[in-house]
Every structure is written in structure tokens, then in C-alpha cells.
């Protein structure tokens, strides 16, 4: 497939691990949302694109990782650790 930005056919697919942080002071202590996904990178211009899996997408839409932590009585680090285990299994 050709790059959407430069039009050249120099794209490669990689596996990426990203941590998306929600904006604002309300989320300053949040560990973020761990995302492991395939990423397509244009090796000419550097343009990149990826799809966000449904579970992580719903967290981004809600923007409530901190509420999820406070409602469940769980620590943020425990949630991140469980998510890492689930994604690597």
C-alpha cells in the first residue's frame, strides 16, 4: 500500500508498545493506557498509522481511567500490570 502522506510504496509494519496519557490535571497521576498494536511506518517520510484495539479505544472515549481505578478500589499500577499480562498472553 502507498503512503497516505507522500504516496511512495515504502511502508513497513512493526509491533509497537505505546502508553497513551490522557490530557488534563485530572489525569496527572494516571499511568495512562497501555496499547500494543501493529504500526505501519513509511520508511521515506516517517508517517505512521495504527489502529487502537476496542478495549483501549473505549477507555480513550470514556477518558476515565482514574474513575475505573477509584470505583474498583484497585491501584493504577495493578491495572497496568494486569493489562500487560493479558496482552502478552
Please state the pTM of the whole predicted model.
Answer: 0.58
Number of structural domains (the chain) is 1
For residue 87, pLDDT beyond 60: no
Q: Is 2 contained in some domain?
A: no
Decide: 34 and 83 in contact? Cβ < 8 Å: yes
12-66: per-residue pLDDT in tens?
999 999 998 888 887 788 888 888 889 999 999 999 999 988 888 888 888 754 4
Residue 37: domain span: 11-88
Q: Is 20 contained in some domain?
A: yes
Q: Is 40 contained in some domain?
A: yes
Count helices and strands (H / E) in the chain.
Answer: 3, 3
Q: What pLDDT does residue 16 have?
A: 92
Amino acid at each position: 500500500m502507498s503512503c497516505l502522506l507522500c504516496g511512495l510504496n515504502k511502508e513497513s509494519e512493526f509491533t509497537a508498545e505505546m502508553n497513551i496519557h490522557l490530557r488534563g490535571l485530572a489525569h496527572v497521576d494516571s499511568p495512562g493506557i497501555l496499547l500494543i498494536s501493529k504500526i505501519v511506518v513509511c520508511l521515506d517520510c516517517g508517517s505512521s498509522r495504527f489502529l487502537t484495539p476496542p478495549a483501549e479505544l473505549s477507555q480513550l472515549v470514556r477518558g476515565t481511567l482514574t474513575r475505573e481505578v477509584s470505583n474498583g478500589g484497585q491501584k493504577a499500577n495493578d491495572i497496568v500490570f494486569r493489562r500487560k499480562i493479558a496482552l502478552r498472553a
